[in-house]
Amino acid sequence: MIEKNVRNYVAIAAAAAGLMVGQLALAKVIATDEFEEGSTRPVTLVVLPSQVELVKQRLLRQEAQVEESGELEAHLTAAVAEQFRVHGYEVTVIDASAIANDPTLQELVVDSNRRFSELLTNVGSKLGKSKNVRNREYNAGDEVKLLAARLGVDALAFARMTIIAPAAGVRALNFGMGGESSMLTVTIVDGTSGDVEAYITLPVGRRGRMFGGHDAIIENPAEEMANYAGGTLEELPNADPSLRVEASADEVILDLESLLE
Amino acid sequence: MRVFKNSLFPLVFSVLLVALPGCDAWAQGESEDDLKGVYGPLELRRSEPNDLIDTASQYNDMFARRSLLYGDSSVLELVRRIGHELAPEPTDAYINYEFYVVRDPSPNAFAFPNGQIYIHTGMLARMADESQLAALLGHEINHAAGHHTILSHRITAKRLAIQVLAGGLGGLMGQLRYSRHLEQEADDRAAFLLQDTPYDPHAITELLEILNEDFEGLDPRIATIWTTHPDPEERIEASRINVADLPSKPRDPDSFDAVVYPLRSLTVRDYIQDDYPYTAIAVAERFIDRYPEDLDFRMALGDAQRVLGPRPAALPEEFSKRDARRNLRDRIRRTRDQRMERLLETPEGIESMAMNLASARATYEGILEIDPGYAPAYRGLGDVYQAEGNDREAARAYLTYVREAPAADDRSVIMGRLTEIRNRLVEEGTDND
């Protein structure tokens, strides 16, 4: 009986240690096998304008801080792009004014964002997303492929961040504990297949603790956004053009013509 | 919601409730349905300039950052011309009537308390003429002129308990839902506003009928602020009675068509892209009647029939609210492909798939009979064959498409499909060897 209890304690301790080790890894990269091994890992990518939802949780309501979100979005987009560059990717950033000046590009960006948001809803509501990403169950459709083709890149990166900051009154009601949370996700969507190749987040336990909370973010947005992007993309595999597999259009057409004959 | 686990919360909450200004009215039982618009000046209180007016301007910046402001000058000119014809003199310094078009296919419009009024592209696309647009703008102008958002915001304080316990998002966008009374007031006043203009006040009833259309069987329907308005049937009937004695005025759909035509095509495509195929079919059929020579709408019809996939060709007659809610939940939980795969596990799904693909094929072939050089129809046929698992025929149709339309915007997408087919055929050949 004692031996059984000891075994249980050892098992619990091992599980706890496992969890702690898991937590030590700063970011969580959920990716397809092909992305991991390199054949679908992009070399060139566009970071679309990021979207930040900054919500102040007041006593009576939650209040979207629209103006502050705008400032954070600019810093976050730049920070995410920089992290991709650090990992060897050829990155292009397109900003809202460039998009607004090109009606066709605007259509494609709006369509892609809408489709991606729909997909993110599906991803967000699903447990076991690792398996689904690996099985290529998340596809962002033709909209994303058209945009990637127009921009001439291998993939698109979508960055979405939510920051919930309790106001002083809410914190007081909560005995000064917690209530603050932040979450950044960066998703890489392949421009040829439309598949989600990688979905990268900070692990739950690190959100809003490892990095500065609302006040620090507002005080020093550039630095904090760089920290969040750096932490989230820390484990991103480096770009490696030698591993990527591509076929030219002419080659495909010739192959098919002979196959159909 | 964590705060509610705090055992001291009810006590602190009740102290705050008593101390909050404005709660006396709540205690006296005033409700949102007692609200009436104030069409004269209305002074802002406490944090309202920041909470409502500044935030409204910030939303405009956000729409711009997210590339959501539609920039076609002729469409904007139309909306702004009619909007300014109808807008009254602002009663307050914080109101300045401005009109924008937002790139969104859902049939929707909304007004901010600072006089900024937004119409979705999907709303404009589904309208028939300037009178319907004037009816919509008149309605939204009344929300701003009557200070409906500000008054609703004030009454929110009286609903403090409900708001807190529900934990809902109570920002400015959340305030753009008005009580039944304010909605009816905006409808009624819009009808009378139109009376002294060249626009037909009967258009307001038609507008409400457009908003009440539910082709998709979702609850709520394609999510909009309008579709959450209470009792659309009652509103339609009330508006009908309201305008019954008002004289009709001549209508001119052609000049309106000339401006919004690109939006019609864009919106049908959006419904297909956003996986609202029943809406796409209904709207495409309407536009085929309106523009019988236009093959793009026939093409859109074929695409919508194809993306129906294993769903029934039409919603069953007995489709209940419960079914609609289940439908909506399913859209959130599962991706499009996952939902289709589940349907294909049933005999009904397999049968529907075959029928919908046959309809789509007939539509594409019909287009090619009218114009054998209309390349997108080959792309559509390729999609049908691919959905049927016929790689060889799909490859032939796609190859015809890329040869006929070498500069097509979606060439890269089709090349991606051809690459997949090539890989499968090569694998098949290797297996046979």
HEC secondary structure over A173-197: HCCCCCCCEEEEEEEEEECCCCEEE
- DSSP 8-state symbol, A166: E
- pLDDT for A198 equals 95
**For tokens 């290529």, what's the residue?**
A136
Determine whether the interchain pair B333/A126 forms a contact, defined as Cβ–Cβ distance below 8 Å.
Answer: yes
Q: For residue A14, is pLDDT > 60?
A: no
Confidence (pTM): 0.83
State how far Cα B71 lies from the chain centre.
18
Across the A:B interface, residue pairs with CB atoms under 8 Å apart total 156
Most confident of A99-113, A183-197, B43-57, B354-368: B354-368
Determine whether the interchain pair B399/A253 forms a contact, defined as Cβ–Cβ distance below 8 Å.
Answer: yes
Residue A125 CA to residue B331 CA, distance in Å, equals 11
Residue A161, SS3? strand
Determine whether the interchain pair B169/A149 forms a contact, defined as Cβ–Cβ distance below 8 Å.
Answer: no
Mutate to test the interface with A, among B46, B55, B67 (most CBs of A within 10 A): B67
User: Residues of B with CB below 8 A from A148's CB?
Assistant: 412
A119 in contact with chain B, both atoms CB, cutoff 8 A? yes
A124 in contact with chain B, both atoms CB, cutoff 8 A? no
Mean pLDDT of chain B: 84
Give chain B's radius of gyration (CA, Å).
26
Determine whether the interchain pair B62/A70 forms a contact, defined as Cβ–Cβ distance below 8 Å.
Answer: yes
* ω into B232 cis (within 30 of 0): no
Residue B411: partners with Cβ closer than 8 Å, 6 or more residues away: A149, A249, B402, B405
Return the axis-axis angle of helices A66-86 and B55-65, rounded to nearest 10°: 30
B151-167, pLDDT tens digit by residue?
A: 888 876 655 544 444 33
Let me know: does B102 contact B118? Beta carbons within 8 Å. Answer: yes
Mutate to test the interface with A, among B263, B419, B420 (most CBs of A within 10 A): B419
ipTM computed for the complex: 0.80
Residue B177 CA to residue B164 CA, distance in Å, equals 18
Out of B2, B68, B396, name the one closest to residue A179 (CB): B2
C-alpha separations of B8 from A174, A179, B13 in Å: 9, 16, 8
User: Pick from B140, B150, B144: which is nearest to B187 by CA?
Assistant: B140
User: Residues of B with CB below 8 A from A143's CB?
Assistant: 273
Determine whether the interchain pair A49/B65 forms a contact, defined as Cβ–Cβ distance below 8 Å.
Answer: yes
Residue A149, SS3? helix
Determine whether the interchain pair B410/A142 forms a contact, defined as Cβ–Cβ distance below 8 Å.
Answer: yes
- pLDDT for B176 equals 58
| pLDDT-derived band at B229, boundaries 50, 70, 90 | low
Beta-ladder partners of A160: A51, A185
Out of B171, B335, B418, name the one closest to residue A64 (CB): B171
Say how many Å lie between the first and final Cα of chain A, rounded.
75
Q: For residue A19, is pLDDT > 80?
A: no
User: Pick from A115, A79, A93: which is nearest to A194 by CA?
Assistant: A115
Q: What's the rounded mean pLDDT across residues A180-201?
A: 90
Q: HSE of B257 in the Cβ direction (CA atoms, 13 Å)?
A: 8
Determine whether the interchain pair A118/B274 forms a contact, defined as Cβ–Cβ distance below 8 Å.
Answer: yes
- Binding-face residues of B in 27-56 toward A, CB within 8 A: 51, 54-55
| pLDDT-derived band at A63, boundaries 50, 70, 90 | confident
Out of B169, B337, B392, name the one closest to residue A137 (CB): B337
Determine whether the interchain pair A178/B168 forms a contact, defined as Cβ–Cβ distance below 8 Å.
Answer: no
Cα three-residue angle B146-B148-B153, rounded to 5 degrees = 145
B425 in contact with chain A, both atoms CB, cutoff 8 A? yes
Neighbours of A109 (CB within 10 A): 28
* Lowest-confidence region among A5-14, B206-215, B259-268: A5-14
Residue B262 CA to residue B267 CA, distance in Å, equals 9
Segment (H or E) for A114: helix A103-124
Out of B16, B67, B422, name the one closest to residue A252 (CB): B422
B73 in contact with chain A, both atoms CB, cutoff 8 A? no
Out of B9, B66, B67, name the one closest to residue A173 (CB): B9
